[in-house]
Structure 1
Amino acid sequence: MNVSAALDWLFSTQFFGIKLGLDHTRKLLAAADADRTDATVVHVAGTNGKGSTCAMIEALARAQGYVTGLFTSPHLVEFSERIRVNGRMIPPDALAEEISCLKQLTESWEQSPTFFELALAIALRHFRKSGVNFIILETGLGGRLDATNAVPKDIAVLTPIGLDHQQYLGDTLAQIAAEKAAIIAPGKPTVTAVQHPEAMAVIEQTARDRHSPLTVARMNGETPRPSLPGTHQRENAALALEVMRQLHALPSPSGAAAALSKVQWPGRFERLAAPPLVLDGAHNEHASRVLAATWKEEFPGQKAALVFAASADKHIRDMIPVLREITGEWHLVSCSSPRIMPAEELAALLTELETGPVFIHPTLPEGLHAALSSPLPALAAGSLFLLGDLKALLSHAEKRSTVQ
């Protein structure tokens, strides 16, 4: 089976939906011989900043000479983005081989594994074959019942927690924090970012109950400035540095600064030169506030021509007043995800909230062209699906859409 056919089968498993729970994950990992590892395992959960923090931890680990395995989600354009060894995406031949193996293994099972469970198994098998000795796992959804929580870990990491995915995780900050704090492992250390008091109380109680030494990572004057812009990225850097300190694997100050100065992470205030465009995956209120603050730092006194699309299940009404602070023009577009709110509905909401000029474009290329033709600097934000579509458009690549 070539990689295209293999990916066709893998993506077809999305029809089985999201199954929150660990029993089936453990069954799959055991059957696939992917449930044992001698590597150090770092497990990262949170609402915002997970991907950037994982990338920084990975860079610091590589600076210490580790062979790193990084598992993240979702991908923007290519599935292979999710699985990296020493920064390199899983090669097509290896990906096809792993998918074919798992298809043969599970096709007779009464209950098929989910897309995300299979992705995790592919990653762990590839990491083992590649001699990885330091693994970073980003949760897909929540923490307690996320497939990644089936993997034994050496340290739990909690990035800033906010309201998101309430249909799965709960309606209050405390409920969501409880789901994410459930990655804390008995007797193993935990490092958390500075949190809202409601979330911090839950984290502290969970750590006490599980006898997990808890450290709060705080940015200070000695925290190196990473390549990723924004004050929040220095806070993510402080979190990554504290994780490595707890693992007794922290590079020298100069080595850490050098590693963090080279970190790249797509879709997090990513500045393209041609065309001149900023991409940011701000998809909830907290992320929108971070984006607005970073925009004001990077483009002082300037508003944006914003290419915007957002998933209907997000709290778009809470995002809009924040984004209005930095937006001079709204360019509404459709994208490949069925979860995206129709542009006409979004336009009505924007008009109701008196946001300024709103333009509806029949296609993404037309919306992008209009924003780039504006005298204002161009920004695309609101959904990772939008960013993936834009990247595929600009690179003339085929994109396989996913909701997981």
Structure 2
Amino acid sequence: MDQITRILDRLLALHPKEIDLSLGRMHRLLDALGSPEKRLPPVIHIAGTNGKGSVTATLRAILEASGKRCHVYTSPHLVSFNERIRLGTDGKYVSDPVLFDALQRCEEANGGEEITFFEITTAAALLLFAEHPADVVLLEVGLGGRLDATNVINEPLVSVITPVSMDHEKFLGDDLTVIAAEKAGIIKPGVPVVSAEQDPDVLKVIERQAARNKTRVDVFGQDFVSQLDQGRMTFQDEDGLLDLPQPVLGGSHQFANAALAMAALKTTGLLPDEDVISTGLKSVNWPGRLQPLTHGPLVDMCPEGSEVWLDGGHNPGAGVSIAQFMGEQEERAPRPLYLIAGMLTTKDPSGFFRPFDGLVRHVGTVPIATTNTARSPEELADLARCAGLEATPFPSLDAAIADVAACAADDGEAPRILICGSLYLAGEALARNNMAPD
């Protein structure tokens, strides 16, 4: 066991609960560290249910194309914890020695007090961001917003809210407007807000919170739009129209995510000219989100000619977007679709699976080795059946792939395979395929 794993294990044991939303412990630790949250480069703060990572990746790509250095904080990671922290000094994930030093200083400053894993590791990220030069910090909310550990930033450049839907009900509430209020908790006095298209009730919550903070909200579909036009993406607002390449990330929802990122940059005065935006859009990289797998040991196990996709989306909203994309692929090039899915106990599998009804040949459900909070394959298969899908539990990812191979041999057709349902499973698949993010 290496020193990073050992210290992360110690930090994980500092609180009896994995999630305990509060800001008191963060403020205590940050005070002990000399208040690094007050010494950061300008911050763009991103909350929402789906699309936070894609928007953050697009923001980074466009900013770096314009010559800006970006610190980036996202969660969870897929393969290595280092993926959560990217330093603008070299544009790479934090190295093991630098990460270990920051975690160790946070551990010492905390003095053994109760604090959640996400809180103390967020403090480590903020400490590193304060100590290394960059032009912008892209700070992604972990859970909710109002009481999230990232919400210690008093005056970001802009608050970005991606689509809000049902997720993490145990911690955020089981009503969409209650969840929206938690997300809108990142809105600060006088700081502009840029929002995705939202459910009307969600938008009312966001607009009320913005009004309380005497700031404006620019909303996708009202103040700015994007769409596909003859193989290109257009972005339009009151100032005119931009003609841009399609987002490299898969799915029609990525047009809205890219537009949200551009609107946020325009609000802050950081949006570069059309040519630079185009360069940035062509370089967006966000693994585990409708990611095609074209080679590697895992792909070699699949039937010859298989089309293999990977996505870590895990809630009903993500299910709708992923199913829509798979439907588009079916129209383009018909072939039988097989899902291989693993999900956590905190998620709504039936809500995730339901949009795939009528589209999927079969679902193979699998365990997730990297977490102890995954549903059993048997329970997940039952829930997939409740959503109208045929499903069979398997003891491993390899076993599920072998079953697809057997079915494909009987059918005589090369299948389309989607590994989905959890970022943890996506991480396992990437590791199994020797494709750690970089």
Q: How does 1:124-203 map to 2 (within 5 A)?
A: 124-152=126-154, 153-203=156-206
* Number of the residue aligned with 1:205: 208
2:255 pairs with 231, 234, 238, which one?
A: 234
Counterparts of 1:53 and 1:396, CA distance in 2: 22
Counterparts of 1:388 and 1:317, CA distance in 2: 22
Could you tell me the TM-score, scaled by structure 1's length?
A: 0.92
Residue type matched to 1:328 in 2?
R
* Number of the residue aligned with 2:264: 243
Tell me the secondary structure at the aligned position of residue 17 of structure 1.
coil
2:137 is equivalent to residue 103 of structure 1: no
2:360 is equivalent to residue 327 of structure 1: yes
* Number of the residue aligned with 1:258: 279
Q: How much has 1:55 moved relative to structure 2?
A: 0.8
CA contact 2:349–2:384 (8 Å) conserved in 1:
no
* Number of the residue aligned with 2:329: 298
Q: How much has 1:350 moved relative to structure 2?
A: 3.3
Tell me the secondary structure at the aligned position of residue 38 of structure 2.
coil
Summarize the Cα distance change of 1:113–1:309 in structure 2 as closer, same or farther, 3 Å threshold: same
The more displaced of 227-236 and 374-383 is 374-383
Summarize the Cα distance change of 1:261–1:14 in structure 2 as closer, same or farther, 3 Å threshold: farther
Q: Which runs of 5+ in 2 are unaligned?
A: 228-233, 236-243, 300-306, 409-413
Counterparts of 1:353 and 1:220, CA distance in 2: 32
Counterparts of 2:358 and 2:84, CA distance in 1: 33
Q: How much has 1:20 moved relative to structure 2?
A: 1.0
Counterparts of 1:353 and 1:290, CA distance in 2: 17
CA contact 1:38–1:133 (8 Å) conserved in 2:
no
Residue type matched to 1:261 in 2?
K
Aligned-pair Cα RMSD in Å: 1.9
Counterparts of 1:219 and 1:303, CA distance in 2: 34
Q: How much has 1:158 moved relative to structure 2?
A: 0.3
CA contact 1:307–1:371 (8 Å) conserved in 2:
no
* Number of the residue aligned with 1:344: 378
Structure 1 runs (4+) deviating above 4 angstroms are none
CA contact 1:328–1:376 (8 Å) conserved in 2:
no
2:423 is equivalent to residue 389 of structure 1: no
Tell me the secondary structure at the aligned position of residue 202 of structure 1.
helix
2:57 pairs with 55, 58, 61, which one?
A: 55
Please give the per-residue CA displacement for 1:300-335, whole angstroms capped at 9, x wherever unaligned: 233411111122332222222212343112111111
Identical columns (%): 33
Residue type matched to 1:18 in 2?
I
Q: How much has 1:99 moved relative to structure 2?
A: 1.3
2:347 is equivalent to residue 314 of structure 1: yes
Tell me the secondary structure at the aligned position of residue 167 of structure 2.
coil
Q: How much has 1:124 moved relative to structure 2?
A: 1.5
2:112 is equivalent to residue 73 of structure 1: no
Residue type matched to 2:199 in 1?
H
Q: How much has 1:294 moved relative to structure 2?
A: 1.2
Could you tell me the TM-score, scaled by structure 2's length?
A: 0.85
Q: How much has 1:372 moved relative to structure 2?
A: 5.3
* Number of the residue aligned with 1:282: 313
CA contact 1:191–1:239 (8 Å) conserved in 2:
yes
Please give the per-residue CA displacement for 1:78-118, whole angstroms capped at 9, x wherever unaligned: 1001001244100011011111111222234xx32211111
Q: How much has 1:353 moved relative to structure 2?
A: 4.5
2:288 is equivalent to residue 267 of structure 1: yes
Q: How much has 1:346 moved relative to structure 2?
A: 2.4
Summarize the Cα distance change of 1:260–1:349 in structure 2 as closer, same or farther, 3 Å threshold: same
Summarize the Cα distance change of 1:325–1:134 in structure 2 as closer, same or farther, 3 Å threshold: farther
Please give the per-residue CA displacement for 1:56-82, whole angstroms capped at 9, x wherever unaligned: 111122222221011001111110010
Count matched residues. Answer: 394
